[in-house]
A = this chain, B = another copy of it.
Amino acid sequence: MKKVNFESLDPSIQELLKKAEKVRNHSYSPYSQFKVGASVLTEDNEIFAGCNVENATFTSICAERTAYVKAISEGKTKFKAVAVVGFQENFVVAPCGTCRQFMSEFGNVEIYMAKPNLDEIKVSTLDVLLPCQFHFH
């Protein structure tokens, strides 16, 4: 993970981060109070944004997976970058292991992880965040 500056980023990545920040408002997280927004940039430069949706019995779906299934259900399966934005001031959210596994099904992507106001951003890749991936094929 390395730190990057918002202004230095490609406009498409800036937009990706802003959409992740905005969709966070729709987070349904009455159990954890932990609001997260995420967005995914497709190979053909569309952005799909999703929030976490919790469940009383903890079969919740994280923001990253929401963004992915939104994109996939619109026919997209090739992705370039993901942004994740949390809600807590002192905290850069990284995708959980379940999301890393889920995303890995669709290939490597850059992953931008930001503090709530996008004033601290770290970047890595899925292959770095999930080494030695488990795949059937």
Report A's interface with B, CB cutoff 8 A.
Answer: 1, 23, 25-26, 28, 31-32, 34, 49-51, 53-62, 65-70, 72-75, 77, 93-102, 104-105, 124, 128-137
Contact = CB atoms under 8 A, between A and B. Distances in A.
B57 A132 contact: no
A65 to B, nearest CB: 6
Given A31-B58, A98-B101, 19 more contacts: A1-B132, A26-B73, A26-B74, A26-B75, A28-B72, A31-B31, A32-B136, A49-B73, A53-B73, A55-B102, A57-B96, A57-B98, A59-B96, A59-B98, A59-B101, A66-B70, A67-B73, A97-B104, A97-B134
A72 B53 contact: yes
